[in-house]
């Protein structure tokens, strides 16, 4: 509850004097606390975020960090001076020093910022590093894609050639077969020039009935008379 009260206090009391501090990316920054107190809170205020209580500084003991991740980034020197190690864009904002008494009292705030050209250079450097890290992977992917496309192209050309060659061979075989057949027929005609030609005759018609006379009567008529 006390920390929440401190944060609300900062929200309502942040109209104190603000001094700007221009620094370089990656450098160590020291911020003085102008309060003469035995214990103080160090608070970070960002524009879009609620106030963040970083640590509690004591005169006779080590500071108490309210987040374990703050230990590597923030430390305290003599007279509650706050030290920011290897500052990045995440640590930019307005820093306050505030006492721990019931009646809160804020120090003058310090706003840390980078030069715009430095931020642009940092962004470009970060983008360049990301591109350089991903470049080998992109090259491998491009090479594999090129090899696969080449293999598919060669396979497609091979299938087309097999189809075309097979069709040509089939047509050539058919033509050769017809030629051989014609040559065989011509050769047979040359070997048997007088070969008889047969024609089909229809014998199905009924023959005419021939009328005959008895043999005995004809023979008797032609036989000479007996003497």
What is the 3-class SS of the chain, one letter each residue? CHHHHHHHHHHHHCCCCEEEEECCCCCCEEECCCCCCCEEEEEEECCCCCCEEEEEEECCCCCEECCHHHCCCEEEEHHHEEEECCCCHHHCEEEEEEECCCCCCECCEEEEECCHHHHHHHHHHHHHHHHHHHHHHHHHHHHHHHHHHHHHHHHHHHHHHHHHHHHHHHHHHHHHHHHHHHHHHHHHHHHCCCCCCCCCCCCCCCCCCCCCCCHHHHHHHHCCCCC
Residue that has been written with the tokens 């040509």 in this structure: 168
Looking at residue 119, its pLDDT comes to: 54
Looking at residue 224, its pLDDT comes to: 60
CATH code at 13-114: 2.60.40.10
pLDDT tens per residue across all 227 residues of the chain: 455 555 555 555 555 578 899 998 889 999 999 898 999 999 999 887 888 999 999 988 899 999 999 999 999 998 899 999 999 989 999 999 999 887 888 888 899 988 765 555 555 556 556 656 666 777 788 888 888 888 888 988 988 888 888 788 877 777 777 777 777 777 777 776 655 455 555 555 555 555 555 555 555 555 565 55
What are the residue boundaries of the structural domains of the chain, listed by start? 13-114
Looking at residue 188, its pLDDT comes to: 72
Looking at residue 126, its pLDDT comes to: 60
Looking at residue 10, its pLDDT comes to: 54
Looking at residue 211, its pLDDT comes to: 54
Residue that has been written with the tokens 């050309």 in this structure: 157
């Amino acid at each position: 509850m006390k920390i929440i009260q401190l944060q609300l206090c900062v929200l309502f009391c942040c109209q104190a004097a603000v001094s700007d501090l221009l620094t370089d990316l990656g450098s160590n920054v020291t911020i003085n606390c102008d309060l003469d107190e035995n214990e103080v809170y160090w608070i970070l205020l960002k524009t879009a975020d609620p106030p963040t209580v970083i640590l509690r500084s004591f005169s006779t003991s080590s500071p108490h960090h309210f987040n374990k991740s703050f230990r590597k980034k923030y430390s305290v020197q003599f007279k509650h001076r706050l030290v920011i190690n290897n500052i990045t864009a995440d640590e930019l904002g307005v820093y306050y020093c505030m006492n721990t008494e019931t009646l809160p009292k804020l120090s003058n705030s310090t706003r840390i910022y980078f030069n715009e050209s430095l931020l642009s250079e940092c962004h470009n450097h970060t983008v360049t590093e990301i591109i350089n890290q991903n470049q080998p992977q992109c090259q491998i992917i491009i090479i594999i894609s090129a090899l696969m496309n080449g293999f598919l192209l060669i396979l497609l050309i091979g299938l087309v050639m097999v189809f075309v060659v097979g069709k040509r061979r089939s047509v050539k075989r058919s033509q050769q077969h017809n030629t051989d057949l014609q040559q065989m027929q011509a050769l047979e005609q040359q070997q048997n020039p007088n070969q008889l030609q047969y024609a089909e005759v229809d014998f199905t018609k009924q023959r005419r009935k021939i009328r005959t006379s008895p043999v005995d009567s004809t023979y008797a008529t032609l036989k000479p008379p007996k003497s």
